[in-house]
């Protein structure tokens, strides 16, 4: 691997990637779907949480936070795909120390997602830029929203956890006219008591079905008198091929006129 061409990932780390990539292990569901939609046959491994495409038949290497490092090494990947938020640096460092090339992505906005996916696919995976990525870029050239609403976006309960600063989810919603009440919080995913969330007096509560599976009977009842929007978590939080349909699907689920 020492003679392989060297590229820089989103963190600026040097990654030695062979000129032709034949075996990829992905530790992020969004990235797994992105590679599968572009050239499925190079995927050798993925996490247990990589649910799209549903018929993906590859070796599973446990979760994003507890990957089976021995199993990953045994797959002899040309590159492992990771994310600065989804994966633990201690695991990635262990892989690097074992001589496994690790490409880490950084995604906090839609623009970063489009740029990062292009770099990952073309530089880390040595693939042509896919047509679906161009479609996603076109889909997110949105007109200015006709109205804006203030929202809280819980991602967990017991304890309550909400979306805070510098998140992909927050940027997605902002582009659809929904401003995150906690966008200025010092933490990216703060844990807050429910009474404090209610005291922020949001116009809207956005309840995705992942990572916590909020539903009509589990979530809205905690926010009496506040409009609740149940949304598809994949379109709200994933940054792969789902970006193509996300603006249309989320606008409908949010009740956002476009």
Tell me the pTM: 0.93
The pLDDT, as a whole number, for residue 100 is: 97
Q: Report how far residue 67's alpha carbon sits from residue 65's, in angstroms, rounded to the nearest whole number.
A: 6
User: Are the C-beta atoms of residues 204 and 229 closer than 8 Å to each other?
Assistant: yes
pLDDT value at 257 more than 70 = no
Q: What is the mean pLDDT of the chain?
A: 96
Q: Report, as an integer, the average pLDDT of 115-119.
A: 98
Q: Which residues of 147-158 are buried (b: 16+ CB within 10 A; e: fewer)?
A: eebebbbbbeee
At 151-205, the pLDDT tens digits run: 999 999 999 999 999 999 999 999 999 999 999 999 999 999 999 999 999 999 9
Query: Which structural domains are found in the chain, ordered by start?
Result: 6-138 (3.40.50.1980), 149-254 (3.40.50.1980)
pLDDT tens for each residue of 205-237:
999 999 999 999 999 999 999 999 999 999 999
pLDDT score at 258:
44
The CA-based angle 20-85-199, given to 5 degrees, is: 155
pLDDT digits (tens, 9 = 90+) for 240-255: 999 999 999 999 999 9
């Amino acid at each position: 691997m020492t003679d392989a061409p060297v590229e820089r990932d989103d963190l600026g780390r040097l990654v030695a990637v062979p000129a032709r990539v034949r075996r990829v292990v992905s530790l992020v569901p969004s990235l797994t779907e992105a590679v599968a939609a572009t050239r499925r046959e190079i995927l050798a491994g993925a996490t247990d949480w990589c649910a799209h495409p549903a018929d993906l038949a590859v070796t599973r290497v446990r979760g994003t936070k507890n990957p089976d490092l021995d199993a990953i090494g045994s797959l002899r990947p040309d590159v492992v795909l990771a994310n600065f938020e989804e994966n633990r640096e201690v695991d990635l460092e262990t892989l690097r120390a074992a001589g496994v090339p690790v490409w880490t992505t950084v995604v906090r906005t839609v623009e970063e997602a489009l740029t990062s996916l292009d770099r990952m696919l073309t530089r880390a995976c040595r693939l042509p830029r896919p047509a679906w990525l161009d479609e996603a870029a076109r889909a997110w050239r949105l007109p200015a929203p006709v109205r804006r609403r203030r929202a809280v976006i819980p991602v967990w309960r017991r304890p309550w956890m909400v979306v805070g600063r510098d998140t992909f989810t927050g940027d997605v919603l902002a582009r659809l006219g929904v401003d995150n009440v906690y966008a200025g919080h010092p933490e990216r995913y703060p844990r807050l008591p429910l009474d404090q969330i209610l005291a922020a007096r949001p116009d809207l509560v956005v309840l995705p079905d992942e990572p916590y599976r909020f539903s009509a009977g589990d979530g809205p009842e905690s926010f009496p008198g506040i409009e609740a929007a149940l949304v598809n978590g994949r379109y709200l939080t994933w940054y792969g091929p789902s970006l193509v349909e996300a603006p249309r699907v989320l606008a409908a689920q949010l009740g956002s006129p476009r």
